[in-house]
Structures are given as C-alpha cells and as structure tokens.
Amino acid sequence: MCVFSFSKRDTELWSFLESWIVSSSAVKLYLHTMLSCDICGETVTSEPDMKAHLTVHMENEVICPFCKLPGINYDEMCFHIETAHFEQNMSKRNFEKIDTIQYGTSYRKDNTLQSAMEVNSDCDHPLYSCPMCGLICTDYHILQEHVDLHLEESSFQQGMDQCSSDRELAHQLQQEEDRQRKSEESRQEMEEFQKLQGQYGLDNSGGYKQQQIRHMEIEVNKGKMHPFEFHQRKADMMEALAIGIDDGQTKTSGITEALHRYYQNTVTDVKRVWLSTGVDHFHSALGDKGWGCGYRNFQMLLSSLLKNDAYDDCLKGMSVPCIPKIQSMIENAWKEGFDPQGASQLNNKLQGTKAWIGACEIYTLLTSLRVKCRIIDFHKSTGPLDTHPCLFEWILNYYSSEREGNSKVICTFKPPVYLQHQGHSRTIVGIEEKKNQTLCLLIFDPGWPSQEMQKLLKKDIEASTLKQLRKTVGNLKHKQYQIVAVEGTLSPEEKVARKQASQVFTAEKIP
C-alpha cells in the first residue's frame, strides 16, 4: 500500500482542481438543460426564448431539418417530423437524454473523466431499434431497409390472405352454383321422368277400363251420348273384359280380300303384289287412345294366325283377346321367365296401366304361345335421305319365297309383319313391286278409324283411299325400325330354349 502525504500547497491545489471540475460539470449540466428547437436544432436557455424563437419559425417559411421539406406551417412540420422522421428525431433526443443523464449524475472524482469518454464513444455510433421486431441496427439506412422488408412482407401476406379469402369465396360460390345446378337438373329429370311415365302409361292413372269409362262420361256430359247408351256400352265392355275377348267394336274384316280384287282388275303400274290373307284391321278406341297401338297390332297379327291352319296346335281355342287380356298374357309370359329385363323396366305390371308395349313384348307373347318368330333391327338408314331400302328388300324376300307362277296378285300364307319405330307401331300386310322396279309396302295403321278402312271394302276402290295404305321408301324415314316376323311354330323343347335365350335378349341387326 502506498501512502501519500500532502503539503499545505498541495492541499490548496487539490481544492482548486476540485472546484474547477465541479464548475465544469455544472457548465455541462447547464448546457444540457438548455432547450433545443425541434425544427432547426438551435438551443436557447429558457422557455420564453424558445417561444420567441418558434414565433420566428411560424412567421417565416418552415423547413424540415431532416429532408429539407418546405412550404408547410409549424404544426404541419411537427406532425411531418413525428411521422416521417420518427427514428431520426428519437435518435437525436435519446442522444441528448443520455448525455444529460451522464453529465447530470452526482459527481464522483474517481470516474468522472472515464464516464464522459464512454458517453462520447457511444454517441459516435448511435443505435436504432426496429419498431416491429426489436432488432438493433447501427445505421439508420439499414434500419429503413429492414423496416421496408417488414412492410413488403406484411403487404405480401395481406395479398396472400386476400387471395386465400377470394379463393375461398369463389369456392363457396362455385359450390352453391353446383348445388343449384344439380337441384335444377334433378327437378328437370323428375319432370321428364313423370312426362315419360305419363306418356308410356306408368303414372298410375288407370288402364283401359278406367280410360274408356272416363271418355264415355265426357261424351254424356257433352250430350254426344245418351245415358242409356252409356250404361249399355259399359255393360258390354265389362262383359267382354270378364271373358277376355275383344268386343269387335273397332274391327274391320275383309280388307285383304278386297285388295286382292282391286289389284287383279284395276292397277296397271304394278308388276306383282304379295298379300297376307285374312288380316282384320283393329283401331284404337277411347279406352286405349294414345297408347294402345302395340296391342292393336298384335290383334291384327293374331287375327291372321287364327285363320291359318298351321297355327292351330299352339293357338287352339283362342279368340282375339281384349287389351286387358293381352296385358295379362304378357305378365304370365314374364312369370314363366321370358324377358326378365323387359319385365323389370315395366315394373312387372301391365294390367290396370296404360303402359306401351313394343317389339320385345310382342316377341315375348308370341314365343310364350309357341309361335316361332324373330326380331330384326334396322338400326340405321341404308339409303339416301335417311331411308331404309334394306327394310323393303327384306320384306320382299319374306313374301316372295312363296311364288305362284306368273300370277300378278299372290295371296300368301305369310302372316303380317309387326313394324315398330319410335313412338308408334303398324302392321305390314303386303308389298308391291312396280314395273319400274320400285317397292311399296302395304300397311295397316291402328290410328285409322273403321269409317276410313271400310271405304276399302267398296267394289270400286278409289286410288286416293288406297294411298293411305301404300308407303314407298321415301315415306319411311325414322332413324330406326324393328320388325317382328312370324316363321312357324315351336315345339315345347324349342320354347324352353327360347325362354333361356331371352334371359340375355338381343335383336338381329341389319345391316
């Protein structure tokens, strides 16, 4: 340990130094308590002096000390500095604050000079704190770039959030649109299905009997039918339905025989004509109007088979059935196992409905009666302008297999041919071959009433009356046609084989 001893002179010198240091500190403390102008940085010693100084600024043009922005008043300039130069202004204030605190501390003679040096050293390199993440930077421009990155990131994130929100909104709108579209499609499908059910008689609105009675009641209400006639016809109908035999109210017989006479005596442009014999015409009545063509064509076909001895074995004891009876016969064929797919499509029920039937049901019914037949599908046109010359050639080959010398009119034993196309069916009863080699089908249509068909029974048939029967290639332009052609009878074993084959039913296609 060193021990220092002081003389009187040394003591006086130390007292002087101590007074000087204290006075210097006081000066510095005084200087740092002076007021500084936020605009130009000038210092004053009192608040009155600062107010006077600021008055000069307010009267004269105010210029920003950081970016030299001119042309605004004092209040606007203060707001500008606080917002645009917040970090610079705070750095300046912090420096002054630190300096004031360091110089304003209580005097200690063992560290005064060292503290002053440390403060000056720190002030040479001011520190800047990021207001967003707290990062300390030593350069204002670095801090500004750092804050810009924060702002860009925030802007990008806001954009991403907006995009995400937009995508979510678009997804929700798309889902709602899809839901509405599916709902509308379901509604339209249901309406179309209900229309089809009504069109094809599957809408539970009743069958032949209900429709017949309803139409007769309408006739009575309109005064077109006497109540006594209504009750008489209703009783006749109920009796016919009970025994299952057609009442003959829509039948016209003898037409093919009349055609035979006509072609022999009158027609001059026909080279040869082939006819099915004994075909009665049946037209739709009030009870089956709009849906009964398939049943009426079956009646026409069966009327010819019942007059042909070749079919006595399988049709023995039968009469032409009424429509409800035909429906019952088809249902029985389904129960035997014929055409399960077709049965399913019609809900395994025909009786009491207005369901349409087509070529498949005619084939099923005939096969169940052991009548040998086949379905041929002319599934596309084979001639110009959507015509079907192959159909005409097939019918010609069907009838012309039975030639009788050079006779102009050939009454064959061929049954008539069931002809089906979209929405309607008819019966082919013969074919003409003209001298110019063109072909013309002779067709019975169940849509023609008895009054028109009976005109063909006159001794002198008018050409205009026959015109409705004759159909050239240019008259048949539907997209597809199907025919059911009878070819003889089936043995019981062949019937079983046909039933098994109908489990996977396919029509023969031509071409």
Residues in the chain, overall count: 511
Three-state DSSP class for 441? strand
In whole angstroms, give the CA distance from residue 74 to residue 39: 9
Tally the C-alpha atoms within 13 A of residue 362's C-alpha that lie toward its C-beta.
32
Phi, psi torsion values for 427, nearest 5 degrees: -125, 125
CA 130/CA 14 separation, integer angstroms = 48
- Sorted by sequence, the CB contacts under 8 Å of residue 126 that are 6+ apart come out as 91, 94, 95, 138
In this structure, the strands spanning 409-412 and 270-276 are: parallel
Task: Select which of 32, 53, 260, 424 is catalytic.
Answer: 424
Can 424 be counted among the known catalytic residues? Answer: yes
Active site residue 125: no
Identify the helix (H) or strand (E) that includes residue 44: strand 43-44
**469 with 444: CB under 8 angstroms?**
yes
In terms of Cβ atoms closer than 10 Å to its own Cβ (0-12, 13-18, 19+), residue 286 is middle
Rounded distance between C-alpha atoms, residue 318 and residue 312, angstroms = 9
Beta bridge partners of 509: 377
Closest CA relative to residue 444, chosen from 264, 179, 207, 253 = 253
**Contact residues for 478 (Cβ-Cβ < 8 A; gap 6+):** 421, 422
Q: Which of 293, 314, 411, 440 is catalytic?
A: 293
Please name which of 265, 300, 256 lies closest in space to residue 430, comparing C-alpha atoms: 256
250 touches 387 (CB < 8 A): no
Count the neighbouring beta carbons within 10 Å of the beta carbon of residue 473. 18
User: Annotated catalytic, 293?
Assistant: yes
Tell me which residues are annotated as active site.
Answer: 293, 424, 445
